[in-house]
Structure 1
């Protein structure tokens, strides 16, 4: 499985600007332009109907003031991030920093804009955290948080795969970690991410299939059920993570 593309709506009354950004996103890959608008009214309609991950917004639209468009887009699609692409510096940068994911001038390098959109699109929009004691109920507590999270985020279709991954990563932490560990669940535009942080010293590795072995196959299941996974060193321990693609 591969991560779903970052969905983008382009809002600018200059066709050439939209074309340049659209082309840059296509060459970079990992993006899908789901809508384009040349007026504020069209931008609000796109945000309402399509709920893209990101709206790239020009403030100088012919019908509605840029600040009003921004406010309406965020009202109609709260999860949508807005990146302003403007011809001039803001008179009140603090106001925009509180309400947008970025402010880029039109004379900036296109790669800078695309890098920003990529970072914004892959940054988690929701996070749930659980500190778990190392006991017989650890996996059950983790699955309870998982079920509630997937229900709230309307991601029921990945429950079976996610439950297996959570169970295996938590079991690994219980087996090889200390007295407590941390489970973190998050989602970006294209992936549901599971992280387990413990203070154990070992790093999990896929083991060859062996029908007589009592353990060692868990990480192979994680590898099969997830689109990607890995191990990172963190202060006082390690983090094992896995991502499941969502759309």
Structure 2
């Protein structure tokens, strides 16, 4: 796929990197400590950090001209970061890698164990985050998953005009 096929994409950032011999992708990473206890309701400071991570990703995507991904990426970041804060604890790292082919959102935490799918039932207030991420990625022709070796939940969204 050529960069010209992406009219909403700010190709200047990636083209400038390739002309200087640097990698032709964009990586952003943010790390923060979790203040609240695992399994407890989100502490106010942690809830604000989830909001900050959403805004950082939206600002970076807007800078790169990927405005067609703002809503879906914001929702995915919210679900992945909230899940890491609530169930992983310790330190959380959000990474976003943008290549000519895709946007990959990754959230790593320092907890133990592995996310387990649950059936939260129709009245439950939570328990659907990873399912929502999977459905949003699938709707855009992407994919999502969890790497137990690195404790990283991830989602990849393709950058093609074929996606809604």
For residues 147 and 100 of structure 2, the distance between their equivalents in structure 1, rounded to whole angstroms, comes to 22
Residue 51 of structure 1, CA deviation: 8.6
Give runs of aligned pairs for residues 14-163 of structure 1, distance below 5 A: 50=4, 77-80=15-18, 99=21, 125-134=25-34, 135-163=46-74
Question: May I ask how many residue pairs the two structures share in their alignment?
Answer: 138
For residues 224 and 205 of structure 1, the distance between their equivalents in structure 2, rounded to whole angstroms, comes to 16
Q: Encode CA deviations 1:19-62: one digit per residue, 9 max, x unaligned.
A: xxxxxxxxxxxxxxxxxxxxxxxxxxxxxxx499xxxxxxxxxx
Q: Which runs of 5+ in 2 are unaligned?
A: 7-14, 35-45
More strand as a share of residues: 1
Q: Encode CA deviations 1:145-171: one digit per residue, 9 max, x unaligned.
A: 112111111111111110110000001
Residue 209 of structure 1, CA deviation: 6.2
For residues 215 and 80 of structure 1, the distance between their equivalents in structure 2, rounded to whole angstroms, comes to 43
For residues 21 and 116 of structure 2, the distance between their equivalents in structure 1, rounded to whole angstroms, comes to 43
> Where does residue 231 of structure 1 map in the other structure?
146
Higher relative contact order (CA 8 A, sep 6+): 2
For residues 116 and 72 of structure 2, the distance between their equivalents in structure 1, rounded to whole angstroms, comes to 19
For residues 136 and 100 of structure 1, the distance between their equivalents in structure 2, rounded to whole angstroms, comes to 36
Q: 1:180 to 1:100 in 2, by over 3 A?
A: closer
Residue 126 of structure 1, CA deviation: 0.3
Structure 1 stretches of 4+ moved >6 Å: none
Match of 1:7 among 2, 9, 12: 2
> Where does residue 102 of structure 2 map in the other structure?
191
Residue 206 of structure 1, CA deviation: 3.9
Larger Rg: 1
Q: Tell whether the 8 Å contact from 1:228 to 1:244 is kept in structure 2 after alignment.
A: yes
For residues 169 and 159 of structure 1, the distance between their equivalents in structure 2, rounded to whole angstroms, comes to 15
Residue 212 of structure 1, CA deviation: 1.6
Residue 178 of structure 1, CA deviation: 2.3
Scaled by the length of structure 2, the TM-score of the pair is 0.72
Residue 192 of structure 1, CA deviation: 0.7
Structure 1 vs Structure 2 CA RMSD = 2.7
3-state SS of 1:146 partner: helix
